[in-house]
Amino acid sequence: MTEAEDPEVDETVASTTPAELKQRIDSGENVFILDARSESDFEEWHIDGENVDVVNYPYFELLDEIPEDLHEQLPDDRRITALCAKGGSSELVADNLEDAGYDVDHLERGMKGWARIYEYQELDVDVDATVAQYRRPSSGCLAYLVASDGEAAVVDPLRAFTDEYEQDARAIGADIVYALDTHIHADHISGVRDLATETDATAVLPAAAAERGVDYGLAYETVTDGDTLSVGDVEIETIATPGHTTGMTAYKVGDVLFTGDGLFTESVARPDLEDPEAAKDAARTLYESLQEQILPLPDETVVAPAHFSDAATPNDDGTYTAELGDLVERMDALTMDEDEFVEFIVSDMPPQPANYEDIIATNLGQQSPDDEEAFELELGPNNCAASEEAMTN
């Protein structure tokens, strides 16, 4: 249901910003959320956490008064944060709750505002460079900045946050010289083209990814297995790891391995987003990539993926990385034989990412949505991993 365009509310109704709500959750506060979106929107994606209690009650059922069954679910001893898709309806809901005697605020800009949260954290790794991870809590997308001796590269940038990469590079005294994608993404709009245009950086794609029909309208370079790119005093090594897609590629800087969607800290890639009918063959290719390209690396290799899901456990600093040896010890999929791996991966794949066909077409250069349209396309979870069921032991 469309939210009210101009709800009549008490001007004093309290609000909270997405950043403030995130800080409350991160601090361990027991947060209570009343999500006033439709049930289907709520089921697709919502704010969650160990210290978050959330109740979904659609806005259109709250127009006149607070239903009695909802009263029974709401706490009277802590704050309630109401939210909706864009922030309008939740303001009206919060006003009604306040009139009913509850301590309440509403989330400014709703879930669209939540999707704007983007966090920067430098990794504690043994590399002669600054390596930082970007986290988008709303979707689980991860990107990386590598900076050394006045130069920087961004791995898997998101179009919506191009300005942040530029600002962060300037803050540490580096010019962005490369914008790299690990593959053709199916869950978010790539920022490679925008970053290259705005900074004069070189856009870089795996050659096998470009062969899917990339038409960027600007010059770009391709890399294949074993190629290297120099960034300041460090080199970025290219390691082909097809399976999730034909062009899936990892990039290695010292002991840090940017695995894209090939290997996560809680799961491995799903093999069906490029060609659903070839998922089983792609799963075999993924098995070979893991066994021949990634697992022979030293146990101390730091796996830095392009995504995290609700099943992933963050490090103490909030980042999502893990040593390869630890993943081998706790992830069943990495010790299965080939046939067992393939059947396991294709037997229970999660729903496909929202709008994934349009997102792929955009990332190939076949569609050209404006900034707002692109942002709308990628709202929701990434769903790029295989099912986490029984992934870890």
**Measured distance CA(253)–CA(257) in Å, rounded:** 7
DSSP 312: P
Strands (E), 189-348: 202-206, 221-223, 228-231, 234-240, 249-253, 256-260, 302-305, 322-323
Which tokens sit at 36?
A: 């006033």
382 and 359 in contact (C-beta within 8 Å)? Answer: no
- Residue partners of 260: CB distance under 8 A and separation at least 6: 156, 182, 183, 241, 244, 248, 249, 250, 305, 306
335 and 287 in contact (C-beta within 8 Å)? Answer: no
Catalytic residue among 33, 62, 84, 107: 84
**Residue 284 vs residues 179, 226, 277, 292, 333: alpha-carbon distances, Å:** 30, 22, 14, 12, 12
**Measured distance CA(50)–CA(224) in Å, rounded:** 42
Instruction: Tally Cβ neighbours within 10 Å of residue 167.
Output: 11
- The helix/strand/coil state of 124 is coil
**Measured distance CA(256)–CA(259) in Å, rounded:** 9
DSSP 254: T
Would you call 352 exposed, middle or buried from its count of C-beta atoms within 10 A (0-12, 13-18, 19+)? Answer: middle
Active-site residue flag, 84? yes
Catalytic positions:
84
